[in-house]
């Protein structure tokens, strides 16, 4: 195809004219990489599988072809270990006894439990269960549910979601939008941080945004973990939780009310937990893949703008009934990795002041563990990473008048994105569904948690031409199914346009004098100050 001619302002503000680098991002290029990564030969790119390793090798080869330098010495691969833990349900047991005797528990129906201690056998005997409300410690809101209580060795009972608190007519936390404090991984992290033996999260459909069945068999799956080691983790249904509330002289609604008070303190439930958990533990080797375009400005080249997209998916399901046993993950997220490769092709035709790092991460489907590992052992000092652009399940149904990104209102990358979108005569849109807490459900969260400002590209919804299929219905039919494959419903012209906008945004971020920052009062602002030594 023909490259458009364009002029771009370089670092020294001299206009350089030539083929528009953004025009290197094309629907055809996106489709080719997405097709290669979602091919049956990649066997669903399961973390720690041969298919996953094959996908990593393909990405490394493409990064080299594009002209990126290896991020780790002479290698594009950033290896790390993951521990897989699968409970032996038949050999495990759990009971809870209180004033009314033992609770009637049914495994994976009223409670699902597991261990991430990494031990073959965990035994807990008559351990007190302490209700800790939402279990939130948020200095920026002056909120502390623990208030110095010693909960070491106890089992902590948490409510899901953020405290729904209004003060002086203002919603604390994110109001209806879910902050990280409202996500279940935060609850488990809190339990580990406080030295608890375990954590039980009370499930209600309202506080989780999905029914119990979505989490109901978590304890029977293989769980991968890096961020919290606990003897016991569990989800408990609302009916069982009512029994505990009753023993505390209240109801589940009463517990929610209690926990919404600033004065809340942890309190004993009068229930004691006994558990014997047998777990098969194994360690696997896996890897993220990263390539670098070195920046051109001597003063800024040691700062990095990072692109992330997860290349792992669900692997194979040999027990699936039909002929197809491969989770191709074309939308989730072969096409997102294709998108960051295309962006790399555009970037190598420019001379950004800051360096750009392209990272295809693994183990997202296991709980954003690949990006967590990247942030824990980054190939450059963490404080040199100033921004993250994440792409996960982007637009595949055509061109829209809106361009959407989660995090739009939370930091200055969002401001730059909005400016670029509007210069193109389009509308910038934020999170299409804030209550679900999507910002905390893909890899950008690993960056945000340590203070790095991040933006997460979404699919716009205001289509110029009616899409070939209803996007919502398509998602319901194919999300996390073996049928997530490139098909006739796909039209990548929309993603081509979206990624050109993302590229333009990232180029401006890479060339700006100031590094990105969170909007004042944001939940990640404190971490930002600590990471970069700012006031």
Residues that bind Zn ion (CB under 5 A): 332, 365
Q: How far apart are CA 10 and CA 14, in angstroms?
A: 6
Residue 116: phi and psi, rounded to 5, are -120, 25
Output 133 or 309, the one with its CB closest to Zn ion.
309
Q: Tell me the Cα Rg of the chain.
A: 24
528 near 518, Cβ under 8 Å?
yes
Output 237 or 332, the one with its CB closest to Zn ion.
332
**Least distance in Å: CB of 439 to Zn ion?**
15
The tokens 């069945």 sit on which residue?
213
**Least distance in Å: CB of 332 to Zn ion?**
4
Q: How far apart are CA 92 and CA 219, in angstroms?
A: 11
| Residue of closest CB approach to Zn ion | 332
Output 53 or 365, the one with its CB closest to Zn ion.
365
**Least distance in Å: CB of 495 to Zn ion?**
17
**Least distance in Å: CB of 310 to Zn ion?**
8
What are 180's two structure tokens?
Answer: 């990280």
Residues 6+ away with beta carbon under 8 Å from 85 = 114, 115, 116, 118, 222, 223, 224, 225, 279, 280, 281
**Least distance in Å: CB of 480 to Zn ion?**
6
Q: How far apart are CA 527 and CA 383, in angstroms?
A: 11
Output 154 or 478, the one with its CB closest to Zn ion.
478
Output 175 or 367, the one with its CB closest to Zn ion.
367
Output 80 or 331, the one with its CB closest to Zn ion.
331
Output 189 or 443, the one with its CB closest to Zn ion.
443
Output 53 or 332, the one with its CB closest to Zn ion.
332
Helices (H) and strands (E) counted in the chain, each on its own, are 14, 23
**Least distance in Å: CB of 316 to Zn ion?**
15
**Least distance in Å: CB of 302 to Zn ion?**
34
3-state secondary structure 472-499: HHHHHHHCCCCCCCCCCCCECHHHHHHH
**Least distance in Å: CB of 442 to Zn ion?**
9
- SS3 breakdown of the chain: % helix, strand, coil, rounded to 5? 35, 25, 40
Question: Residue 178 to residues 228, 255, 436, 440, 497: CA-CA distances in angstroms?
Answer: 21, 20, 7, 9, 30
């Amino acid at each position: 195809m023909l490259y458009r001619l364009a002029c771009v302002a370089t670092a020294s503000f001299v206009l350089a004219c030539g083929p528009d680098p953004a025009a290197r991002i094309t629907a055809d290029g996106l489709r080719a990489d997405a097709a290669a990564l979602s091919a049956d030969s990649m066997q669903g790119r399961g973390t720690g599988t041969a298919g996953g390793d094959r996908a990593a090798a393909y990405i490394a080869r493409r990064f080299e072809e594009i002209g990126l330098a290896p991020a780790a010495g002479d290698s594009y691969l950033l290896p790390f270990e993951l521990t897989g833990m699968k409970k032996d349900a038949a050999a495990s047991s759990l009971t809870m006894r209180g004033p009314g005797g033992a609770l009637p528990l049914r495994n994976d129906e009223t409670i699902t439990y597991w261990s991430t201690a990494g031990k073959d056998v965990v035994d807990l005997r008559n351990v007190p269960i302490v209700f800790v409300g939402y279990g939130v410690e948020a200095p920026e809101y002056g909120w502390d549910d623990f208030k110095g209580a010693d909960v070491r060795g106890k089992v902590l009972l948490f409510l899901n979601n953020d405290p729904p608190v209004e003060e002086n007519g203002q919603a604390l936390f994110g109001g209806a939008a879910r902050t990280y404090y409202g996500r279940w991984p935060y609850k488990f992290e809190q339990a580990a941080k406080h030295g608890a033996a375990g954590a039980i999260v009370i499930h209600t459909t309202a506080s989780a945004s999905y029914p119990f069945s979505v989490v109901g068999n978590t304890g029977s799956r293989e769980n991968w973990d890096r961020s919290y080691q606990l003897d016991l983790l569990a989800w408990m249904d609302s009916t069982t939780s009512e029994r505990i509330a009753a023993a505390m002289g209240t109801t589940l609604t009463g517990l929610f009310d209690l926990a919404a008070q600033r004065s809340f303190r942890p309190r004993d439930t009068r229930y004691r937990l006994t558990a014997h958990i047998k777990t098969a533990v194994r360690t696997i080797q896996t890897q993220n893949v990263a390539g670098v375009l070195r920046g051109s400005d001597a003063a800024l080249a040691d700062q990095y703008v990072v692109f992330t997209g997860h290349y792992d998916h669900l692997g194979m399901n040999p027990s699936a009934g039909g002929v197809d046993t491969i989770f191709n993950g074309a939308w989730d997220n072969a096409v997102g990795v294709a998108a960051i490769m295309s962006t790399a092709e555009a970037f190598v035709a420019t001379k950004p002041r800051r360096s750009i790092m392209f990272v295809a991460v693994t183990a997202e489907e296991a709980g954003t563990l690949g990006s967590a590992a990247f942030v824990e052992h980054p190939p450059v000092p963490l404080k040199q990473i100033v921004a993250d652009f994440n792409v996960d399940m982007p637009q595949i149904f055509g061109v829209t008048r809106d361009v959407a990104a989660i995090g739009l209102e939370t930091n200055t990358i969002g401001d730059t994105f909005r400016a670029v979108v509007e210069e193109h005569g389009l509308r910038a849109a934020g999170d299409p569904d804030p209550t679900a807490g999507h910002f905390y459900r893909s890899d950008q969260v690993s960056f945000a948690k340590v203070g790095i400002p991040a933006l997460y590209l979404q699919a716009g919804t205001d289509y110029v031409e009616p899409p070939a299929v209803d996007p919502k219905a398509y998602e319901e039919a194919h999300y996390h199914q073996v049928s997530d494959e490139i098909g006739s419903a796909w039209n990548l012209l929309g993603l081509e346009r979206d990624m050109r906008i993302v590229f333009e945004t990232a180029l401006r971020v890479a060339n700006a004098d100031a590094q990105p920052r969170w909007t004042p009062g944001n939940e990640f602002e404190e971490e930002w100050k600590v990471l970069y030594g700012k006031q």
